[in-house]
Structures are given as structure tokens and as C-alpha cells.
């Protein structure tokens, strides 16, 4: 006799008839056999509680990194990166790395003549970690009680100023995101936030002064040994590098 227990749910793509409290109800499923689940925590606290959520920031609050040396990065270049995320988990004991957000706080210097701030993101199964001019950041597990090892890695511009040099994209690389963070010249104290897989539309203030600008990007999930590379550039930027503090978050499962 088989010990297998089947938990069946009634397929119901349409909202079923509600039942009164304390009455029995049939589990609701999709037409693919998946079970509908209503979460009472519509936040990421559960990911933090289980030790899966990770953040990485510039090590010293108030101290910005400079993206460029003398002048800003004025055009897209496949081997010039602003940030590189890498899932360093082993294929033998794999976890997936789910990018959540990237936040930049503009400070220090801004390019004197840049007309806008653009970005592009490529994912790759080749190692795109910087070969020079990059600083590796130590990510932090948000749960102090968790002993889980963080598999994700992050590189940012070299402390003191410059743009990380990364290996060229492999033949398997895919361009998955292209957009703008600010459509006019940057202002000190601007805050740019890129949300991966956001369900809400972008928002911000089209103001001459400092403001907060939110932009969405596709959901990015990195498998073992895969990388995501984001390039930033500011057309017409001549003098002064773009300086910013940063914070980025992801979860690993």
C-alpha cells in the first residue's frame, strides 16, 4: 500500500463563493494545480526572519564613491560597470539570488554638463567581476540571529574614484534592462531608486532642485555563478565624476 497522501484543491480561476466563519471550505487551486495562498504579511519581513534577506551599502555613511576620475562616464561601454552582482553559490548546493532594489544618494560632486542619467543591465553566466578599479563590498544578513552564509557578492566603484573595469560580456549575455534614472542634470542630494520587478509604476518629481526618483526594472534572478552588470552613463558629462552613496538589497533562497 502506498503511503502517498494527495492534497487536492478545486481549480477556481474565478473568485469562489465565500463561506461563513467556522465552516469548512475546499482549498482553492489554479488550473495548473497550484494552491492559492493569501499572505497576512505583505512585506519582506518573512524573508528577513528566515535569514534570506541581504543588504550591502557603502561602508561609511556620509562618504560617497566617485563613478569616474576627473569626468563622469559619458557613454555606454560594455566593459565599464557601476555595480556588479554575482551569485557565488555552488551548483552543488545552489541558491538563487533575487535582486530587489538599488538606491543612489547623490553627494559630493555632480557632472557639470551632464544632460541625464542612463542605465543598462546585462545578465551573464560568465564571471563579470571587475578586473580592476572595483571595490568588493561585504553584504550583511539582516537577521542578527541567522547563521546563513551570504552567497551574493557586490562590487562598486573604487574608493577614491573611478569606474570598475569588467570583462567583456560572453556570447550568452542578455541585455535585460534599459532606462533613465533622471532626465536632466543631477543635483546634490538627489535620490535615485531602481526597483527590480516592481508592480507599481515609477514615480518622482521633475524638479530643478533635489528630488527622489523611482524607476522600475525587470525582475532579475541570478543562478549559481551568474552575474548582473549595471552600467550608468551621463551624456555630455565633461568635468566632475558622479559621486554617490548607495544601498542595494536582495534575497537568497
Q: Give the DSSP per-residue string, 41-77.
A: --SSHHHHHTT-EEEEE-SSTT--EEEEESEE--S--
Q: How far apart are CA 82 and CA 230, in angstroms?
A: 6
Q: What is the pLDDT of residue 220?
A: 98
Q: What is the pLDDT of residue 32?
A: 79
Strands 65-69 and 242-252, by their bridges, are: antiparallel
Q: How far apart are CA 183 and CA 197, in angstroms?
A: 22
Give 122's DSSP letter.
E
> Cβ(99)–Cβ(87) under 8 Å?
no
Q: What is the pLDDT of residue 11?
A: 83
Q: Element (H or E) spanning 29, and its range? A: strand 28-29
Neighbours of 50 (CB within 10 A): 13
Q: What is the pLDDT of residue 190?
A: 93
Q: What is the pLDDT of residues 175-220, one digit of tens each?
A: 999 999 998 888 899 999 999 998 766 665 555 678 899 999 999 9
Write down the pTM of the prediction: 0.89
Low-confidence ranges of the chain (pLDDT < 50): none
Q: What is the pLDDT of residue 101?
A: 98
SS3 135: strand
Q: What is the pLDDT of residue 38?
A: 74
SS3 159: coil
Amino acid at each position: 500500500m502506498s503511503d502517498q497522501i494527495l492534497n487536492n484543491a478545486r481549480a477556481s480561476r474565478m473568485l469562489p463563493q465565500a463561506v461563513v466563519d467556522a465552516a469548512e471550505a475546499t482549498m482553492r487551486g489554479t488550473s495548473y494545480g497550484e494552491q492559492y495562498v493569501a499572505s497576512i504579511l505583505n512585506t519582506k519581513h518573512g524573508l528577513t526572519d528566515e535569514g534570506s534577506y541581504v543588504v550591502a551599502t557603502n561602508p561609511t555613511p556620509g562618504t560617497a564613491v566617485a563613478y569616474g576620475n576627473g569626468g563622469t562616464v559619458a557613454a555606454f561601454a560594455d566593459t565599464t560597470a557601476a555595480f556588479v552582482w554575482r551569485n557565488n553559490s555552488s551548483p552543488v548546493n545552489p541558491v538563487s539570488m533575487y535582486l530587489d532594489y538599488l538606491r543612489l544618494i547623490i553627494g559630493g560632486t555632480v557632472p557639470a554638463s551632464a544632460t541625464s542619467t542612463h542605465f543598462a543591465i546585462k545578465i551573464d553566466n560568465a564571471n563579470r567581476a571587475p578586473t580592476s578599479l572595483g571595490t568588493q563590498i561585504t553584504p550583511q544578513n539582516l537577521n542578527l540571529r541567522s547563521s546563513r552564509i551570504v552567497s551574493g557578492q557586490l562590487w562598486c566603484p573604487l574608493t577614491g574614484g573611478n569606474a570598475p573595469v569588467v570583462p567583456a560580456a560572453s556570447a550568452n549575455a542578455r541585455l535585460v534592462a534599459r532606462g533613465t534614472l533622471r532626465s536632466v542634470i543631477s543635483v546634490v542630494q538627489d535620490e535615485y531608486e531602481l526597483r527590480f520587478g516592481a508592480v507599481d509604476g515609477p514615480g518622482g518629481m521633475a524638479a530643478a532642485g533635489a528630488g527622489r526618483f523611482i524607476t522600475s526594472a525587470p525582475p532579475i534572478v541570478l543562478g549559481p555563478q551568474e552575474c548582473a552588470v549595471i552600467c550608468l552613463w551621463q551624456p555630455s558629462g565633461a568635468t566632475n565624476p558622479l559621486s554617490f552613496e548607495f544601498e542595494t538589497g536582495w534575497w537568497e533562497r
